[in-house]
Amino acid sequence: MKLVEAVNDLITRINDLLEEEEYSDFLLERLFRIKSEIVDPAVTTLRAHPLHAERADAILALYQAIEQYIVLLQQSPERRDERRQKVEGAKSLVRRVVLGRQDQEGEVEVLLDEIRKWQWKTSLDANGRLVYSTASGTVVPARGVIAEQVGPQVIEQAVKAQRPYSDKMRPRDVRGEPGGLILLEGERAICVGDLHGRYDNLEHILKDKNNIRDVLAGRTHLIFVGDAVHPSSSAMNSPEAYEDSFCVMLLIMTLKAENPFNIHYLIGNHDAAHVGGVPAGRGQVRQDKLFKKFVVAKFGHSVFDRYCEFVRMSPVVAKLKTATGNILLLHASISPRVLSEQGLINIFIKGRQGKALQDLLWSRNYGQEQLETALEHVGAKFVISGHTGPTQSRAARYGFEVIAEGVAAHVHERQLILNAQGNTFGYADIDMTKPLPDKVSDLRAPDGKPAFRILRPKGAPAEPVAAPVDGFDPDESQADIPPVS
């Protein structure tokens, strides 16, 4: 497709937007797709050629005009006609400068294959493996080789392509910055606990029940509750283990770039360690240092900085709106220091090591009265989290009940703990259209079955058992858990 066809597509989509008279998040999503699919790649390519800078400026001016039009639909609907005239003027400029002008070299022919050389699409191949389709060909990411096949440019672009939430979906805090809470409405939510580098487990979750189909179609929210990075054991310190860890995050960033409003990543304590949070690791191993060392050595500082940028701009808490109440999603546990929904929105105000934020990322204080009171303060009935492996030994230590060993547990029937880092793993599949039950363990999927889903791939090895040391797991040292005062 030539440049002229791309610009005609741009104008057609803008004409469709001009027919809208009321603001909506879906309208904003359509606007962002225009920017990522046409405007950004076209402007980047044209500005690489000095003769075509004027064309790039005209395309960008048209996008800015339609962006202002959409924003004012929400803020000042009475000025709709005024802004529409500015869009029409910008369209005329594009037609004249981009479509109507001939230069000494003749009509510019810029192929969209070149324009979109940094873009990709994600799907499943015939064998159920995730596939990236790029301008240079098809890439099947395999554990241990994905980094060489994809390359650092795409990794950086995965972060550059992220789109911000609307203020309605992610309310701003008192500083005017995007807050720590996102508000989600819809019909279905897939909730994934700690992956800790299990790229293979994420593949199984996405292809189970054809989840990837519904996610890519925008019909389902896919929510990660943090800690996709860092290997699941302190003994796994090889470059291969950290590459697996990074590949999980690359896949999440890529999927979210394509589906910005129904794929969501919530910060975990291992993520936060890279953006000013408390150091994180397993036992006495500082995994945050080893992870940074691997990424910098493999790709350079710029790629690691891009990864940190993604984490830094990610929210901490999601609130699912269901037919009869709300479900909170976060990494560890709800904080008694948070006394309202506004407290979640303003969670970053006291910095990345603020006490309330540390509770959400690290706490295992599962007292029933405290849990129920904290949920009441933020207007939620249940909470879904990760952080703590739901084993019988940890259940005895922290005071919760195991639903499936190593996969799921509940805390006083108000909190569901999920884990996706073992050889047996799972996720929660929630029907958001049905009334909430009295017990969190009675949550249901759209097919009517229990919400928590247990997966054990054929041929998966038995779970390794770490020997306890003085009653503590060697991979869960108390030195790793920040004091709560």
**Shared-domain flag, residues 95 and 176:** no
- pLDDT value at 284 more than 80: no
Q: Are 194 and 475 in contact (CB under 8 A)?
A: no
Per the prediction, the chain carries an average pLDDT of 80
pLDDT tops 70 at residue 128: no
User: Do 34 and 179 have their domain in common?
Assistant: no
Tell me the three state secondary structure of residue 113.
helix
Q: 101 and 152: one domain? A: no
Residue 138 lies in a domain: no
Tally of structural domains, the chain = 2
Q: How many other CB atoms sit within 10 Å of the CB of residue 435?
A: 9
Q: Are 184 and 243 found together in one domain?
A: yes
Q: How far is CA 133 from CA 154, 212, 261, in A?
A: 12, 15, 21
Of 10-24, 231-245, 439-453, the range with the lowest mean pLDDT is 231-245
The string of pLDDT tens digits covering residues 108-117 is: 333 233 333 3
Of all helices (H) and strands (E), which one includes residue 86? Answer: helix 80-94
**Pair 318, 223: CB distance under 8 Å:** yes
Q: What is the C-alpha to C-alpha distance for residues 287 and 307, in angstroms, rounded to an integer?
A: 16
Full-model pTM: 0.71
DSSP 8-state symbol, 35 = I
Tokens matching residue 300: 């350079």
The CB density around residue 172, as the number of other CB atoms within 10 Å, is: 12
C-alpha to C-alpha distance for 165 and 413, rounded to whole angstroms: 32
201 or 97, greater pLDDT: 201
Residues near 429 by beta carbon (within 8 Å), at least 6 away in sequence: 188, 189, 190, 191, 209, 211, 445, 446, 451, 452, 453
User: Domain end: 96, 113, 130, which one?
Assistant: 113
Residue 402 included in any domain? yes
d(CA 454, CA 354): 35
**Domain containing residue 452:** 146-480
CA distance 81 to 24: 18
Residue 140 covered by a domain: no
Q: Is the dihedral of CA 434, 426, 129, 246 positive or negative?
A: positive
The amino acid at residue 43 is: V
> Which amino acid belongs to residue 108?
V
In a domain, 475, yes or no: yes
**Can you give the pLDDT at residue 148?**
59
What are the tens digits of pLDDT across the range 428-475? 999 999 999 999 999 999 999 999 999 987 766 655 433 333 233 334
Could you tell me if 187 and 247 lie in one domain?
Answer: yes
CA 469 vs CA 387, 404, 466, 474: distances in Å:
20, 24, 9, 6
Q: Are residues 284 and 427 in the same domain?
A: yes
Q: Are 182 and 253 in a shared domain?
A: yes
Q: Hunting for tokens 């293979």 — which residue is that?
A: 200
Q: What is the pLDDT of residue 377?
A: 95
Share of the chain above pLDDT 70, in %: 79
Clarify whether residues 163 and 208 are in a common domain.
yes
Which span out of 194-198, 253-257, 380-384 was modeled with the highest average pLDDT?
Answer: 380-384
Q: What is the pLDDT of residue 161?
A: 66
Are 291 and 235 in a shared domain? yes
380-406: pLDDT as tens digits: 999 999 999 999 999 999 999 999 999
166 and 45 part of one domain: no
Does some domain include residue 120?
no
Residues composing the chain: 485
**Residues 175, 299 within the same domain:** yes
* Percentage of the residues of the chain whose pLDDT score is greater than 90: 39
Residues 102 and 195 in one domain: no
Residue 344, helix vs strand vs coil: helix
Q: How confident is the model at residue 83 (pLDDT cuts 50, 70, 90)?
A: confident
CATH number at residue 355: 3.60.21.10
Identify the top-confidence range among 94-108, 229-243, 300-314, 357-371: 357-371
Backbone angles phi, psi at 7, to 5 degrees: -70, -40
